Structure 1
Amino acid sequence: MPFANMLLEDPAVPALERQQALDRIFADPGIPQKTTTSSFWLKDPHESFATRSSKPLPVEADIVIVGSGITGASIARTLLENGINPNSSNQEVPSVIMIEARDICSGATGRNGGHILETADEYSELADEYGEEVAKKTLRFRLAHLKEMLKVCKDLGLTEHVQARKVQFLSAFFGEEPWKDALERLSRFKAGMPEEAAEWIAYDRKSMPEDFKLSRAHGVIAGPAGALWPYKFVTSLLAQLLSKYPGQFRVEDHTAVTSISETSSSAYKYRVQTNRGAISARHVIHLPGLRGRIFPLRGQMSAQTPGSNFPCQAAKHSWLFSYDRGFDYLTQLPSGQMMFGGGFARSEGGGLADLGIATDNEMSLYCDIHLSGALPAVFGRQNWGEIEGDPVQAMWTGNMAFSADGFPWVGQLPTSVTKRPRSRSIDSGSEWVSAAFGGEGMVQAWLCGKALATMLLKQDGRLSPTADDDISWLPDQMLVTEERISKSVLSRTVPSSHKASL
């Protein structure tokens, strides 16, 4: 069961608090606010995006992508690299325009942990819920991102600049029962997917290597993972696309969408109204009104100075810490900074207070307290050592999109969602979505974006003959369907049996 559902159905949490969370989930998230917490990742803006867009906004575009994170970057790259540009003779009409309400890549991607991590813990749950084949396909999809992301960085010559690296993740468990459960999940994963699980190793306290510095853990499961600087990756990629496709691609920052409507034009089906003017477009890729199906959750991250006794393990390890309730995640930069996030279960209401929060301009005090003090305790104060000055260099929040059924939403949006009648053939354009990665965007977003762009190009008949049109690797559970729209939605109210405490 997706963890949001578990929170909303937890009888130990007052029904009033759960109902308030549901009310936030079904509310309009609005336009991203200008005021934000300051992400460490964004401290040095890319030279191509250090100043605001100054040119007039194009009034027409073939495809409008709303959002400039890793998903949008993947979509744009696939469209431009694999598509046939319908406007090659008209440089005034870009084939693809990306718009962002604030600074480029200042949303979830510019605020996450940069951790390319798939623990395979979900294998058992997926197998029980959907069957072994669905579990295997879903895990293969997620696991493929490590190789894919590192390859993209290498192909673009960005590996060193974005600090992309393969590491061994150490998933540490600090309770006897959680450790037993983890061993059972690992056993099922290894039995079901022995080839993919070959690098996964379990260490109990007796067999755990001393250099892990995790002697307080009941056990550790290790496996392949990766890490990179997400902001540098996205902005460097977008800059290369702008250079390579100057007449076909535009990126516009501080351009907030206020509405999307249909037009009477035979060439451009949609009118995308922004604070800087309107853009007429054939296709629009955005996060639509799937309320109760997709919803925001606020997460918290920090950049911290390691203790004097802690060796730099940036090229060697990343970490996941699981407790009796909740978990934290950690990577280390080559410069030494510890990029530490989590503490969700330690926040107000055991995390419920962050459910449905669509802003990133405030922080949870309880998460701050937890994140600020957890690392010396986890590694042991003797292993950690002393720190001169404030150990926390930065603390910030970001919004993650979750789904009611735990899967991303990828595909063309039907009229039941857009509420705009389809008056013309789909050849005139469509609305699309690729979103709701549940806090695991680094192992889902890139290939979801690639699949969506391929779907769009195939529908338009503009996929290059040399491009690979096979997206059979995308799990069916991630596709947008009327059945899923009907079934995969949260209840608007706390069940009546749970309302006694209201």
Structure 2
Amino acid sequence: MSHRLLQDPGLPVANPTTSYWQTPPNQDVLDIQSPSLPEKRDVVVVGSGITGLSVSWWLTQLSDAVSICVLDARQICSGATGRNGGRINCTAVQDYAKYRKIFGDKSAVQIVRFELAHFNAIYEFAKQAGADILERSEVRSVGAVSAVFSQEKLLELRRMLEDFELAFPDLKGEWKIVERTEAVEVYKIANAHGALVGKAGAAWPYRMVTSVFANLQSKFADRFSLETNTPAIAIDRQGTGDYPYNVVTPRGIIKAKHVVHCTEGHAAHLLPRLRGILVPRRGQITVQNPASGFPKRSNSSWSFLIDDVLDYATQSPTTGHIVIGGGETNGKAEVLGIPSDAEEDILALSHLGGILPAAFGVSQWGHEVESKTRIAASWTGILCNSLDKVPMVGMLTQKLLDRPAGNLESAEWISSGYGGYGMVNAFLCGKNLAHMITSADMDGNESLPEAYYITPERIGMLQSLLKKVLNSRREHARALL
């Protein structure tokens, strides 16, 4: 595994599993290409998920003249954003406890407030993009029920909530602990010992991303282009001219002023010094048909923590399908370093196929509908874990590059390492990047947490930590998880 955690993640594979979210595909942008590549662009964005969309959108909002080209090795939004669980869910109470241990109280508060800002930011963005896009994207507020199946875990949640409310007095009462009786009678999770209940969001991310990209292509045709099936295979910087970067693709070279890496688990392919620091991780998702006794609960989302296995689910308001992912019964370390979404995780798939009736209980779940299989679709996606457990956002400096580094006038930038929580990180990370590139000011809870910035101190710490764990598979995986 140690070798796997350090390997080149390569380009996204050409034959990925089929994601439910991408069916049917958005024909407006599916295999979109210009007749020929633009000769030069102010900004080349590599990757067309929610980060790439956010960077592109906010650049067009901040500048009337900036020219942009978005490259993707496959189709638009064919990576992690188009393969996730459909939740915009900040696990605020648990995240505060986690980040407080790592970074201290101040940074933990910043991170949680940043994550919490995402639902409103995404909702308002989709609304601004158009009422039709908001409706198709199914961006909506839902209840969040984090069920646990032991008294020990329930007690742990209770302690976390007490600490959380001391740190966030303005949010007191937004989350609550429910005991076993209420978990069963109100939330219908028959086998839970209790739960943490709060609010979250859900969406159909692929529809939102592809629809807005199509709008950008139409509105800014003279200075915006989408290039699918056009991987960036090399980048070099030549001199200090207006467009010093050569972004090499199989279709030709684009000269650029700025290059933005929005490729999550594949970022280290073009940035070899980040191998072992930003590491891909494969995740498993399924879509399941509810049984006969299960009512439509599209205003809810769930997570189930059994021992240390976490599963997470939402229900579509239109189809009634339950989207559920997780199932890492062998531990997350077993899927670390896997950059391919062409294969499924059979152990995770087996677990996910049985967790819903096990968690809700036969009394709440009911009997299987004879004409339907339980699992209607399944696929995998590639996440990205960072060695210090938070995203890496900002300008890439010389210590992270094999080629000359840039400056504020012309540089390489990155936002990556969301650890499976891209929907409560990526959109505003992209917005912050766009503001950095244009030297515009950001303020409020949408400002980047200090821990996310690329600083000399952080780079030094990451490189020292990598050197320390380099020869230990177990320690390297532990640092990433």
Mapping of residues 97-136 of structure 1, within 5 Å:
97-120=69-92, 121-136=94-109
> 1-side partners of 2:422 and 2:389: how far apart?
12
Q: Which amino acid aligns with 1:317?
A: S
> 2-side partners of 1:351 and 1:496: how far apart?
12
Identity level (%): 39
- Superposed CA deviations along residues 326-349 of structure 1, whole A, max 9, x for unmatched, are 2000000011000010012x14xx
Specify the alignment match of 1:57 in structure 2.
37
**Structure 2 residue matching 1:383: 3-state secondary structure:** helix
Specify the alignment match of 2:185 in structure 1.
210
- Structure 2 counterpart of 1:226, from 180, 201, 204: 201
Q: TM-score, normalised by structure 1?
A: 0.87
- Structure 2 counterpart of 1:300, from 243, 261, 284: 284
State yes or no: 1:437 paired with 2:437: no
Deviation at 1:470, TM superposition (A): 3.2
Specify the alignment match of 2:14 in structure 1.
34
Mapping of residues 328-477 of structure 1, within 5 Å:
328-334=311-317, 335-344=319-328, 346-347=329-330, 350-385=331-366, 386-388=368-370, 389-422=372-405, 426=407, 428-458=409-439, 463=440, 469-470=442-443, 473-477=447-451
Q: Which amino acid aligns with 1:402?
A: N
User: Any runs of at least 4 consecutive aligned residues in structure 1 with deviations exceeding 6 A, and if so which?
Assistant: 495-498
Distance 1:471 1:382, change over 3 A: closer
Mapping of residues 161-172 of structure 1, within 5 Å:
161-172=136-147
Q: Which amino acid aligns with 2:302?
A: W
Q: Which amino acid aligns with 2:347?
A: Y
> 2-side partners of 1:452 and 1:428: how far apart?
14
Deviation at 1:484, TM superposition (A): 1.1
**Structure 2 residue matching 1:223: 3-state secondary structure:** strand
> 1-side partners of 2:376 and 2:23: how far apart?
12
Distance 1:190 1:332, change over 3 A: same
Gap runs ≥5 in structure 2: 262-266, 477-481
- Superposed CA deviations along residues 270-295 of structure 1, whole A, max 9, x for unmatched, are 10111211111010011333112111
State yes or no: 1:487 paired with 2:468: no
- Superposed CA deviations along residues 4-37 of structure 1, whole A, max 9, x for unmatched, are xxxxxxxxxxxxxxxx2x2111111111110111
Q: Is the 8 A contact 1:52 1:253 kept in 2?
A: yes
Specify the alignment match of 2:295 in structure 1.
311
Q: Is the 8 A contact 2:278 2:384 kept in 1?
A: yes
Mapping of residues 40-79 of structure 1, within 5 Å:
40-53=20-33, 55-79=35-59
**Structure 2 residue matching 1:48: 3-state secondary structure:** coil
Q: Which moved more, 1:24-33 or 1:68-77?
A: 24-33
- Superposed CA deviations along residues 389-434 of structure 1, whole A, max 9, x for unmatched, are 3111111001001101111000000011112234xx7255100001
**Structure 1 residue matching 2:290: 3-state secondary structure:** coil
Specify the alignment match of 1:260 in structure 2.
235
Distance 1:497 1:175, change over 3 A: closer
Deviation at 1:125, TM superposition (A): 3.0
Specify the alignment match of 1:320 in structure 2.
303
> 1-side partners of 2:171 and 2:145: how far apart?
17
Q: TM-score, normalised by structure 2?
A: 0.91
- Superposed CA deviations along residues 80-110 of structure 1, whole A, max 9, x for unmatched, are 1112415xxxxxxxx0110000011000000
Mapping of residues 231-242 of structure 1, within 5 Å:
231-242=206-217
Distance 1:190 1:209, change over 3 A: farther
Distance 1:51 1:130, change over 3 A: closer
> 2-side partners of 1:201 and 1:118: how far apart?
15
State yes or no: 1:173 paired with 2:152: no
Considering fraction of residues, name the structure with more helix: 2
Distance 1:477 1:239, change over 3 A: same
> 1-side partners of 2:126 and 2:191: how far apart?
36
> 1-side partners of 2:96 and 2:340: how far apart?
32
Specify the alignment match of 2:264 in structure 1.
none
Deviation at 1:195, TM superposition (A): 1.4
- Superposed CA deviations along residues 199-231 of structure 1, whole A, max 9, x for unmatched, are 211100133362411121010111110000010
